[in-house]
Structure 1
Amino acid sequence: MDDILQTKQKINSYIIDSQEEEIKRIALELHEGVGQNLYSIMTGLQFVESGIAEQNMKSYVREMSQLIEKTIREIKLLSVELHPPTLSTFGLLPAMKSYLKLYTSTFGILVDLESAGKETSLPDRSNIAVFRVCQEALVNIAKYADTSKVKMTFLWTEEELKITIYDFGKGFQLEEQNGVHHSSGLAVMKERMHLAGGMCTISSKIGVGTSIELLLPL
């Protein structure tokens, strides 16, 4: 039984690592490939606009240029959401702060983030695992919690990192888990933390809110 469990964990870990590599590749291609191509098209249109005398055509080209500029911004935001470059460069906390700006602008939910203790540098796999679990938790809150504010705390000690996310939302019955998609999302969160050597604990009360606690040994 232990051998079967270990094999299953190795397979799950391989799948997750493979997914992350593919996500990173797609994010890079969006930013440096598609994004750069669109930027070249936009500057070309701006050059064409400067040489057009007919006002209606000039306005049309300007509108197309502005639409491409908007698309470039959206692609940049999507790229950051897929794989924030600050995660590997600056660490978990700066990456989370960067993501929360995007999260609030997208969903209109304010996240009060506090960090106590001395931040510790984490291995890449742990960084990605914890970031993805926090990301999944926040997306679930936007979909299901019906709330406008979230409290998020990072507590760093020499032994562990403890992250608590509380949504002040409508809550749910854990045995029901608000449907298949929510249930699978919670299961993925727990599995990611387990593979990283940590734990994910979820508690919820109807009409009060849901609390998600992550523990990662350091």
Structure 2
Amino acid sequence: MKTISSNNISSYIIRSQEEEIKRVAMELHEGVGQTLYSIYTGLQFIETGVSEPQTKQYVKEMAELLEKTIQEIRLFSVELYPPALTTFGLLAAIKNYTQLYTSTFGIEVEVESIGSEVSIAEEKNITIFRVCQEAFANIAKYADTSKAKITFTWTTNQLAIMITDFGKGFNLYDNENSASGLAAMKERMGLAGGDCTITSSIGEGTTVHILLPI
């Protein structure tokens, strides 16, 4: 009788979840997002035809609120499953994600790539994206910073990624939430054959190091 390892079970569960997430993301982007955009353009049209100043201002504010909501849905859709990942690769997907991230949270993200990008299997691509996504989510929640940087270093047999937030930093041993988040990131990278570590210093910021043999 063939024994199924816990790693194989975990990988299967993650693959199944990603397929469902991909389906929901497409429905969200192509359905809800498109409908809201149609309403937004309709409000803009109404605004041009309204002459009463108070009503005109109200319609304008509603349009701006709807525009913000559309932006948040776009980011949420990309967070669920980035379409650029399949079409253009990991680097393009991260660039697209960080642009939406900046417009949503106001945190400027510098993206640097050293070396020539190497094609990576889709399953490993989504793993890396998820780990980077978790790192950026933590920056928005905890770092108290206005800037961050992600650096890709490509070689023929390895991809190294470094995400730095320049924020307030924290004590790794005193933060349970960070410890559990790191454990999930490490587990994902471990299932993909890679590694994830984190360093942080109070007042100097936090850095996430991701390593994946390719």
Distance 1:205 1:153 in 2: 19
TM-score normalised by the chain length of structure 2: 0.83
Q: Which residue of 2 aligns with 1:206?
A: 202
Q: Which residue of 2 aligns with 1:137?
A: 135
How is 1:1-218 mapped onto 2 (pairs within 5 angstroms)?
7-39=5-37, 66=63, 71-176=69-174, 178-179=175-176, 181-218=177-214
Structure 2 unaligned segments of length 5 or more: list them.
Answer: none
Distance 2:139 2:44 in 1: 41
Letter in 2 for 1:117: G
Letter in 2 for 1:104: T
Distance 2:8 2:184 in 1: 15
Distance 2:205 2:66 in 1: 41
- Mapped contact 2:50–2:56 kept (Cα < 8 A): no
- Mapped contact 2:108–2:147 kept (Cα < 8 A): yes
Q: CA RMSD in A?
A: 2.8
- Report how far residue 122 of structure 1 moved: 0.6
Structure 1 unaligned segments of length 5 or more: list them.
Answer: none
Cα gap change, 1:161 to 1:54, in 2 (>3 Å): closer
User: Deviation digits for residues 126-161 of structure 1, max 9, x if unmatched?
Assistant: 110001101101111221222222222110001100
SS in 2 for 1:152: strand
- Mapped contact 1:116–1:156 kept (Cα < 8 A): yes
Letter in 2 for 1:163: I
Distance 1:188 1:99 in 2: 21
- Report how far residue 69 of structure 1 moved: 5.5
- Mapped contact 1:46–1:65 kept (Cα < 8 A): no
SS in 1 for 2:8: helix
Number of aligned positions between the proteins: 210
- Report how far residue 18 of structure 1 moved: 1.9
- Report how far residue 55 of structure 1 moved: 6.7
Letter in 2 for 1:192: R
SS in 2 for 1:111: strand
SS in 1 for 2:148: strand
Identity of aligned residues (%): 61
